[in-house]
Amino acid sequence: MGGEIGVESEEGNGSEFWFTVRLTILSERRAITPRKTELEITALAFDSEMRILLVEDNLVNQKVALGILKKLGLRADAAGNGLEATQHIRDAQTKVLDHEIPIIAMTASAMQEDRQRCLQAGMNDFITKPVQSQVLAQMLARWLAE
């Protein structure tokens, strides 16, 4: 695809894996899936004004996820306590500008009760870790393309 792949690593701070590919800008929102079977990457076209809330209690995981989302062209905010943040955002009495902003929980808890607790709190969806890039891309496309 005429791109590059690499890694930047700093002892004690972790590693950042990156890649670049040359893609055509789309006039409509849709997903493009490359045909290479050895590497599945989904490129998404998002509205540049979209924002999401990343719910992650681990600061290292927050930084990694925010970096991934930024490279996808998404603007994201992070919250350590997802249930509390969700309740505040969904409360029509707060000064939140967009009470309908998509909230997707990223958690290591894969139990059905955890999923139900997140959805009942007002989150839109739930994804378990370790996050698979294809699953994350599909979920983002579903919630951000609306």
Q: Which pLDDT score, from 0 to 100, does residue 32 have? A: 43
Cα–Cα distance between 121 and 25 in angstroms, integer?
37
Residue recorded with tokens 């590059």: 4
Q: What is the pTM of this model?
A: 0.59
- Domain 4-144 class, CATH top level: alpha beta
Mean pLDDT across 68-91: 83
Question: Which comes out higher in pLDDT, residue 140 or 18?
Answer: 140
Residue at 145: amino acid letter: A
Q: Which residues contact 108 (CB under 8 A, 6 or more apart)?
A: 128, 129
Per-residue pLDDT band at 38 (split at 50, 70, 90) = very low
